[in-house]
Chains A and B, each alone.
Chain A
Amino acid sequence: MPLNLEPNFREPGKHYGRDFSPGDDFYELLIDTHRDLTDEQSAAVNVKLILLLANHVGDIAVLREAMSIARSGV
C-alpha cells in the first residue's frame, strides 16, 4: 500500500459532526505532548515519536516515501 496522503485521523467509537474535528483532535494532542518542554526535550520527544510510528507502519517502502517527502524542499 502506498503512503496515505489523504485525511486519515479518527478515533474508534467517536462520532464526528465536522470533517476537520479528528484532525484538530490530533493536532491538539501533538501540541499538548510538547507543552512545557525545552526545545531540546521537544526534539528528543519528536525523535522517539518517529521511531515508534515508523515501527508501527513497518512497511519500509512507505517509510521511504514519507522520508523523501519530508526531506524535499527543506
Chain B
Amino acid sequence: MHSTYNYLEFAYRRPDDLDAARVRRHPLVVVGAGPVGIAAAIECRLKGLPVVLLDDDNTVSVGSRGVCYAKRTLEVLDRIGCGDRIVGKGVSWNVGRTFFRDKEVYRFDLVPEPDHKRPGMMNLQQYYLEEFELARARELGVEMRWKNKVVAVAPAADRVALQVQTPDGIYPLEADWLIAADGARSAIRNMMGLETEGKVFMDRFLIADVVMKADFPAERWFWFDPPFHPNQSVLLHRQADNVWRIDFQLGWDADPDAEKRPERVIPRIRAMLGDDREFELEWVSVYTFQCRRMGKFRHGRVLFVGDAAHQVSPFGARGANSGYQDADNLGWKLGLVMDGRAPERLLDSYSDERTFAADENILNSTRSTDFITPKTPISKLFRNAVLELAERHAFARKLVNSGRLSVPTTYVDSALNTADIDAFAGNMIPGAPLDDGPLAGGQWLIDALGNRFQLLVFVDDPAELERRCLDGFRELARLPIAVETLLIARRPADIAHARTLVDLKGVIARRYDARPGSVYLARPDQHVAARWRQLDFERVRRAVARATCNS
C-alpha cells in the first residue's frame, strides 16, 4: 500500500568467509543495520576502523517507525556527514500545540532563541534516514553484509566468536569488538542470557501513515480526550512527501489485529479530519511499549547500543534519538581503545554515561506516559484538573506533559569530567553537550566541533596572544591524543597552530559565560570535558588524560 516510497533492496553477496580455510578475524563487527547501527558503523569508520556491518534482512525499515529527530541528533548526523541530505528531506518544526477536548490549552516553542544551525525537531520517515546513512556508510567503505543473521555468539576475553547464517549456509566469524545494535528484541542480548529490567505499560496505540494534502502546518498537535476520540489521546505529525503520522491511543483491551484493518482505521481518521478530505492509508501498526534498560551496556567486548540496550515509551521521541547519542558517545572511545591510545576501561565510561542518560530518558518518558494515560481515577482527576487550569494559568501549563521532547543528557557525574575550580554561570557545565552559536560568514560553531579533542580559547584579539600560548597550542597538536585549538575571537586573525572562529555577535561567549581568557576543553563527541578562567597547559593535559582514562 506504499505510494510515496520505493523500498530499496540490497544485494546479498556470498561472504568469502564461507569458503575460508580458517576462521576470519575482524577488528570490529556491528550487528543490525537500523539507524543507530549504521550511525555507529559510520562513526567507527571515521575513526579509521575497518567495519563489517551484518543485517538479517536486506532492506530499510518497513513503515515510517521512528519519525521525530531532535536537534542533537541532527548535530550528530552533521558530524558524521549525513546531516544536510537528511535535513533537506525532512520537515523541520519547533512549535507544539496541545488540546484538551475541544480547546487549545498549551503551546510551546522548542527553540525559543535564534542563532542555532538546526531546528528543535525534524520529522522524517525512518526509511529515509536509513537510506541516507547507508549511502554515507558505503562511501566510507563500511563492508555491508545483507541477509547475514547471527545465530550464535560466544564472548571471550580477547574476542567474540559468531556463527552467521546466510542463504548459502552458516559460517564462523570472529571480532575483536562487537557492537550489538540489533533492536529491542536483540538476539545478541538474548543469546548472551542478558536481561533488561523495567516496566511494561498496559496500553496499545495505533499508528497510521496517511497521505493527504492537508492544510495543517508543520507543528506537533496533541489532543487529550478529543471529541473525535473520547477518553484517549491522539498525536498528529507531519512527515516528508505529504505523509502524516497519526497516533491513536486505543487502551489495553483493544484487539491489535482487528484495529489494523482499514475498515477500522479509516473511520477513525475520517472522524479526526471531520470532513470528506481525501486521504490514502499508507502504513498501519499497533504497538505497546516498555520502559527498561540493561544493567550495563558493556559486556566485555560486546557493546550494546540503541533499543538493544534501552527502550522507552515513544512520548518525547527519546528512543532513536538516545540511540544516536549512544553511537556518538561510543565511537571515539572505541577508536582510542582499539588503536591502543586508551585503556579498555574507557569503554566502561560509555556504559556509565549512557546508562545515566537512559535513566533520564526513561524517567521523562515514564512521567509523560503517566500523564497521557492515567492509570487510576484519581490520576485522571488530577490530569484533567491540570488541563482545565492550563487554559488560563501559567503554572498549570508548565505541568502539562504530552512528552518532554528529547534533549541530550549532561553527563554531570561522569568520571571523565574535570571538576570546576572556577565559577561559571549557565548550562555549559562539565559533561554538557556544547551549545551551538553563529560565526561570521554564516558559519556555525557546531560545524567546527567534534571528532577530536579541542581547546576552545576565548580571546578578543588573537594577535595579542603571548608567545607561550602559541607554543602551547603547537605542543597540544602533537600529543599522542592531539588537541586542536580553536580561538573564539571577536575579530579574525591568522594564528599558527590554531583555528580562529569569529564570534561576531558575542552569542557564543554569552552562551558559554566566557570572558577573554576563558577556556573549554571539548571531547570528540562535542561534550564539555573541563573549563577554566585561565589557560594552564598542564591542567589541559591532565584533563585530556582524565577524559581518556589515561590518568
Contacts and interface: CB of A to CB of B under 8 A. Distances in A.
A34 B379 contact: yes
Contact of B401 (A6, A8, A17, A24): A24
Given A27-B399, A31-B379, A18 B370 contact: no
B398 A19 contact: yes
Interface in A19-61: 19-20, 23-24, 26-28, 30-31, 34, 37, 39, 42, 46
B504 interface: no
Interface string B364-405: 100100110000111100100010110001110011010010
Contacts of B395: 4-8, 23
Contact of B370 (A6, A20, A31, A69): A31
Contact of A39 (B377, B394, B407): B377
A62 to B, nearest CB: 14
A31 B399 CA distance: 13
B322 interface: no
Contacts of B382: 27, 30-31
B404 A23 contact: no
Contacts of A17: 410, 427
A12 interface: no
Interface in B248-265: none
Interface residues of A, number: 23
A39 B378 contact: yes
A73 interface: yes
Contact of A34 (B378, B399, B404, B407): B378
B376 A5 contact: no
Contacts of B364: 24
B37 to A, nearest CB: 29
B398 A20 contact: yes
A20 B404 contact: yes
Given A7-B394, A30-B382, A34-B376, 16 more contacts: A4-B395, A5-B394, A5-B395, A6-B394, A8-B395, A17-B427, A18-B407, A19-B398, A27-B399, A27-B401, A37-B378, A39-B377, A42-B377, A42-B378, A46-B378, A69-B393
Interface of B: 364, 367, 370-371, 376-379, 382, 386, 388-389, 393-395, 398-399, 401, 404, 407, 410, 427
